[in-house]
Structure 1
Amino acid sequence: MDDTNAARPHKPKPAAERILELWLFRSRWLMAPFYVGLVVALAALLYVFAMEAWHEFSHLGGMSPEQAILMVLSLIDLSLAGNLLLIVIFSGYENFVSKIDTGDDEDRPEWMGSVDFSGLKMKLIASIVAISAIALLRAFMRLTEGEAIADRTLAWLVGLHLTFVVSGVLMALMDWLGGRSKH
């Protein structure tokens, strides 16, 4: 058994290198204002959700089934965007700044603290695909109501949705291949 590494004394780093590394490590806190800004964006999204719900519910009595479905899709779309923001805020902060200490709070989501950067990417792309699918479904619902939607607009919606789906599949494939190469 060769213990050449164990026999060598550990040479301390120069003071300048230790200070530089300390400041580099502490610079992660520069990301905290970004997450605070995303919390403000979440509050703004809540306001938009409330205004949309208020507007839509005020017309509830005269809605056709298709209009009710469109209303629900619109509210689901905003909800998914809010979920997306929450995932980015929590996992981004925990992955790049500091762990969130919630004590023994039983309401702590199970995925908090366990979503790494790869998992964050997959949750992001899944949310984007879902939001895109809802936008596409909303366009098709409007078509069934007789609303005119330009073919070019529909082509862009379908093309973007397929791009998001293919991107998600490729990202999952890259993560899977990356995980296999580590073994």
Structure 2
Amino acid sequence: MSTDPTQTIPDRTYRPPGPTSRALGYFIFTSRWLQAPLYIGLIVAQVVYVIVFMLDLWHLINDVITNWNKLNEATVMLSVLGLIDVVMIANLLIMVIIGGYEIFVSKIRVDGHPDEPDWLSHVNANLLKIKLSISIISISSIHLLKTFIEVGNIGEVGAKSDTGHSYTSEGVMWQVFIHLAFIVSALALAWIDRMQNKTLLEAARAGAH
């Protein structure tokens, strides 16, 4: 096949981005710091939860001291579950603050620090979503357990729990359905993450050959 020597060959050489393109790219990259105040706000929310925890703990101690003869196991258990609920939400906040900042804003350079969380060294968006889903399931489990402890004669009209809250069979059923939806969502995220890792592993093996 003959070729025309006068035919123009397109220039495919790499051209570095111009000053405008570099400036725009740097501006977009720097805009990630707009998220920093959001994580600082979550730290403030963490402080609020510490205050809520201490107040709930004080109320529990005060009830034990002043009304120890009127307390029953269910009331104490509900108070303790409330404290656990606050702690789990605080753990959720920590994961969002540290993990989100590490992924979307800037690296947290704590390599070799004795208090570095195990998951921080290999954190990514998929792992963070799975951990958040597990935390949400745990929080939902606490709320569901509190409901099961509180409900009394749920089938009777106007039946109330030991704490005075009214419950219906339909309301409890919806709580169970929502909890199951959280579980299914977490399983779906874990499956998607596994399939992505499998695809990357197969691609790496294919590239090695």
Q: What is the TM-score normalised by the length of structure 2?
A: 0.78
AA matched with 1:66: A
Which among 77, 93, 107 is matched to residue 99 of structure 1?
107
1:144 deviates by: 5.4
SS of the equivalent of 2:82 reads helix
Q: Which residue of 2 aligns with 1:57?
A: 61
Alignment partners' CA distance in 2, 1:141 and 1:56: 17
Alignment partners' CA distance in 1, 2:137 and 2:113: 32
Q: Which residue of 1 aligns with 2:40?
A: 36
| Higher Cα Rg, which structure | 2
- The farther-off stretch of 96-105 and 113-122 is 96-105
1:10 deviates by: 4.1
Which among 90, 97, 114 is matched to residue 82 of structure 1?
90
Higher share in helix: 1
1:131-170 equivalences under 5 Å are: 131-143=139-151, 147=161, 148-170=166-188
Which among 36, 61, 78 is matched to residue 70 of structure 1?
78
Q: Percent identity?
A: 36
AA matched with 2:36: A
Aligned length: 176
Could you tell me which runs of 5 or more consecutive residues in structure 1 were left unpaired when the two chains were aligned: 1-7
1:115 deviates by: 1.4
1:72 deviates by: 1.5
Q: Which residue of 2 aligns with 1:12?
A: 16
Task: Work out which structure has the larger RCO, using CA pairs closer than 8 Å and 6 or more positions apart in sequence.
Answer: 1
Alignment partners' CA distance in 2, 1:166 and 1:63: 38
AA matched with 2:172: L
CA RMSD of aligned residues (A): 1.9
Measured against aligned partners, the alpha-carbon deviations of 1:13-65 in whole angstroms (never above 9, x if no partner) come to 11111111111111110110110010011111111111111112211224212
